[in-house]
Structure 1
Amino acid sequence: MEDIQEISDVRFQGIKINYLYVCKRKLWLFSKNITFENTSDKVLLGKVLHEYSYPKENTKEVLIDNLIMIDILSDGSIREVKYSSKMKEADIMQVVYYLYYLKQKGIQKQGIINYPKEKRKEVLELTPEYEEKVKQALKEIKKITTKPIPPPAQKQKICKSCAYYEFCWG
């Protein structure tokens, strides 16, 4: 497989990295602009939590290259605010993708995932291992999103709280 080197090769929204680790079918549907998030109570709860958490932060919701949205940006770090740590691997991969993306632009930062409801945080650095995982994830996203049909639905614990539940199982 070819190596991903140029910034133009890594132009995916961070949510797609997250969805790759949550549900490949959801990733495919989202990539085709089939979205149900605007009707989801869980998504609304996450937005409210994000809006009211960390009110003293000045630099919130920073859009970079009209592509990635960083929840909170500070001098030395980027921070993501998440409702719960139930999908920790997906959260971690989303943040390390942001770190990787920024590194391609010559910007070095630390990543932090805040779980305010749980009163805890996860501090991340972009290691060579994470860089390799990001590169593999980007290749897999490209492979999944260019297929003509979605991956089959696979029952998971999170399905019942997913905005796509009725689409997949209704």
Structure 2
Amino acid sequence: MSIYLKQDVVITGTLIWYLKVCPREVWYMARHVTPFEGHRRLEKGRAIHKIYGDEIPLSLEGMKIDAYKKENRTVVEIKSSSRHLESAMAQTNYYLFRLKEVGLECEGQVFVPEKDERYIVRLDEDQVKKDLEEVRRIATSEVPPQRVRIRFCKKCAYKDLCWG
């Protein structure tokens, strides 16, 4: 299963994350249309990563793991809230898949420091393959998916682009 959209464009963990939130965001991100970098939610996420993430994160092309516990081979994805838990778990699952491809079998965990919540993620290769195909389908489409108002639109960094 290829992780590439085209020759030099890799499907990232961020695209997998957005797939579970809003397919339209996948389309924007795949075209390098990025949200306002100063958006307060993005800033909060960066601050949390700075506090709880590894100074030198583990990474492969298209992915940067927030923290890695080598003593028990656990990949940790750090999130500011559990609001997007499905997305965070899919993103972590993708990281586990990619690491397995290079010979490193790991467990996964989503960590929400604010509430000291930890969620275990086990590799589901079939789901990752489905997610990769869906991202590829959306990203290579000539037009973005139809906009659909969802509960996340109100605080989305892309809301002005979709609804402005």
Q: What is the TM-score with the length of structure 2 in the denominator?
A: 0.90
Which is helix-richer, 1 or 2? 1
CA–CA separation in structure 2 for the residues paired with 1:7 and 1:23: 20
Contact 2:57 2:64 in 1 (8 A): yes
Contact 1:59/1:73 (8 A) holds in 2: no
Q: Does 1:111 align with 2:108?
A: yes
Where does residue 129 of structure 2 map in the other structure?
135
Q: Which residue of 2 aligns with 1:30?
A: 29
Question: Which of 50, 63, 82 lines up with 1:68 in the alignment?
Answer: 63
Q: Which residue of 2 aligns with 1:14?
A: 13
1:21-170 equivalences under 5 Å are: 21-53=20-52, 60-65=56-61, 67-75=62-70, 76-126=73-123, 130-170=124-164
Distance 1:103 1:140 in 2: 21
Contact 2:3 2:132 in 1 (8 A): no
Partner SS, residue 37 of structure 2: helix
Deviation at 1:134, TM superposition (A): 0.7
The runs of 5 or more residues in structure 2 that have no matched partner are none
Change in Cα spacing, 1:7 to 1:18, as seen in structure 2 (3 Å) is closer
The secondary structure found in structure 1 opposite 2:149 is: coil
Check 1:78–1:23 CA distance in 2 against 1; reply closer, same or farther (3 A cut).
same
- Identity of aligned pairs, percent? 29
CA contact (8 A) 2:68 2:75 kept: yes
Alpha-carbon distance in structure 2 between the residues aligned to 1:131 and 1:122 = 18
CA distance in 1, matches of 2:94, 2:112: 19
1:7 shift after superposition: 6.3
Q: Tell me, which stretches of 5 or more residues in structure 1 are unaligned?
A: none
Asked whether the 8 Å contact 1:60–1:70 carries over to 2, the reply is: no
Is the 2:4–2:11 Cα contact (8 Å) retained in structure 1?
no
